[in-house]
Amino acid sequence: MVNSLHIGLIMDGNGRWATARHLPRTAGHLAGLKALKRVALGAIRNNVGYLTLYCFSTENWKRPKEEVDYLMGLFSEKVTGELPFFNDNGIRLLFLGDMFPLPSEAQEALHFVIEKTAANDRLIVQLAINYGGQDEICRAVNRALEKGISRITPDVIRSNFDNPEVPPVDIIARSAGEMRLSNFLIWDAAYAEFVSYEKLWPDWDEYDIVNIIKAFGQRNRKFGGLGK
Ligand code: IPE
Ligand code: IPE
Ligand code: MG
């Protein structure tokens, strides 16, 4: 049974974490992956239903080739390497974004883990890779047009997203203190709550999920009405 709370995470600060330790930026990404596992376990223990993880934006291709190649390598090797972790903990993986420009090894690895975790239902994790909110909206509109739909409405766009069955994000949390969305989930952010924490992503653990849930519980969501 999947619970309904949906948390989106902008996992930022890997580079700053590594630089502070006189390490290459790639070491920060590896440490970020370890943080991700702690946070995912925290999400399961605290009955979160959905996590959407911002792993690589449509703009992150602007980074040095070495860093991009390292991240693409992580998406292929680590994703399959962590299959026992996903299955032991009931984690189902979904892909969010435009997979086509990724290296074929990464695409194969992602298809593989998506298939091998399809029966899990404790936590749904959307991996946002080569994801951009603007690109997501354009791809949804193009899908609708290809189906012959000539009138675009909010429902048409939402129902043509990559995983329309995933409910809109409830709360977006960003690490490393930045106060922007950086093209993350911009459609569903319409009424999402937002929190930002100074802590750099590789330092996150399961208690940071508890803090997000607490912050969310204190918000009065009004959706344009008068609220509670
Ligand atoms: C986030 O950390 C990870 C990715 C964008 C892939 P950064 O790499 O952006 O870390 P900072 O912002 O440079 O510290
Ligand atoms: C957003 O972080 C993308 C991911 C976390 C994958 P960035 O570090 O790329 O965002 P900006 O450039 O600071 O806005
Ligand atoms: Mg950053």
Question: Which mutation among 9, 10, 11, 14 tests ligand 1's pocket best, with the greatest number of atoms within 8 A of CB?
Answer: 14
User: If you take atom 11 of ligand 2, which residue's CA is the nearest one?
Assistant: 182
* Tens of pLDDT, residue by residue, the chain (228 residues): 567 999 999 999 999 999 999 999 999 999 999 999 999 999 999 999 999 999 999 999 999 999 999 999 999 999 999 999 999 999 999 999 999 999 999 999 999 999 999 999 999 999 999 999 999 999 999 999 999 999 999 999 999 999 999 999 999 999 999 999 999 999 999 999 999 999 999 999 999 999 999 999 999 999 999 987
Parse the chain into domains and list their residue ranges. 6-134+164-217
The domain 6-134+164-217 having CATH identifier 3.40.1180.10: the answer here is yes
pTM of this structure:
0.98
For residue 85, report the distance from its CA to the centre of ligand 3, in Å. 27
- Give CA torsion, residues 139, 116, 33, 50, to 10 deg: 60
Judge if the beta carbon of residue 16 lies within 6 A of ligand 1. yes
Query: What are the residues whose beta carbons fall under 8 Å from the beta carbon of 174, sequence distance 6 or more?
Result: 9, 10, 12, 180, 194, 195, 196, 197
User: If you take atom 3 of ligand 1, which residue's CA is the nearest one?
Assistant: 12
What is the per-residue pLDDT across 34-65, written as a single tens digit (0 to 9) for each? 999 999 999 999 999 999 999 999 999 999 99
Query: What are the residues whose beta carbons fall under 8 Å from the beta carbon of 103, sequence distance 6 or more?
Result: 72, 76
Distance of alpha carbon 205 from alpha carbon 102, whole angstroms: 29
For residue 13, report the distance from its CA to the centre of ligand 1, in Å. 5
